[in-house]
Amino acid sequence: MASERHFSPVDRLLLQADAALRTLLPFSGQPTRPSPGIVQPEAEMDEAQAQHVAGLMRINHTGEVCAQALYQGQALTAKLPQVRQAMEHAADEEIDHLAWCEQRIRQLGSQPSLLNPLFYGLSFGVGAAAGLISDKVSLGFVAATEDQVVKHLDEHLQQIPLGDQKSRAILEQMRIDEEQHACNALDAGGLRFPAPVKFGMSLLAKVMTSSTYRV
């Protein structure tokens, strides 16, 4: 694994730049698992329904962009090698979600959010800062973030038309994975954030969701 090698600070910055490009450039993320929606038939939706589902998938895609940035920032500043490896492994798994969401957005005749570079930069900074504070805080931030993602996925699953099994299969698998990531972070020693901190994170998440639904 790359995380077991000894890289110079410059090497690590170059690796982070490569990860950023693979996250932000169209179709650059290569999934290790096929999309769960690939075996599902395409639903008949009117234009308004298709645009709504595309907006929801765009939100989820941006969420995965943020997750990539968060994990990469945390891996850069993690104190313990095993924590760095855990962050890098989680980021690899999130690439599947990133690719699945982008594929579905394109199928619906839309495109990812133009704000993705902005949210990537902000999330990378937050992740790096959390890693600088402590690995326990960094892992706790992962768990709290994944909890927020699961809540958003639950909301979106309720809004997707019943006939759209492609989108539903993707979100259901994402929910399973994200819930597992949260459990893994806590099991690894992550701090359980208090309710006021989680509430503040939810407010920030609403800014992201409201802005990327259409843009």
**Residue 40's pLDDT is what?**
94
94 is in an annotated binding site: yes
Residue the block writes with tokens 């996925």: 153
> Looking at the domain assignment, is residue 36 inside a domain?
no
The rounded distance, in Å, linking the Cα atoms of 117 and 115 is 6
64 is in an annotated binding site: yes
Mean pLDDT calculated for residue range 203-207: 82
**Residue 101's pLDDT is what?**
95
> Looking at the domain assignment, is residue 2 inside a domain?
no
Cα–chain-centroid distance for residue 3? 21
Number of Cβ within a 10 Å radius of residue 41: 10
Structural domain tally of the chain? 1
> Looking at the domain assignment, is residue 7 inside a domain?
no
52 is in an annotated binding site: no
The rounded distance, in Å, linking the Cα atoms of 136 and 124 is 18
Can you give the residue range of the structural domain that contains 56? 49-212
155 is in an annotated binding site: no
47 is in an annotated binding site: no
**Residue 9's pLDDT is what?**
63
Rg of the Cα trace of the chain?
17
97 is in an annotated binding site: yes
The rounded distance, in Å, linking the Cα atoms of 135 and 1 is 20
Mean pLDDT calculated for residue range 125-143: 85
Q: What is the CATH number of the domain that holds 208?
A: 1.20.1260.10
**Residue 80's pLDDT is what?**
73
Residue 186 · residue 139 · CB < 8 Å: yes
Of 20-24, 89-93, 204-208, the range with the highest mean pLDDT is: 204-208
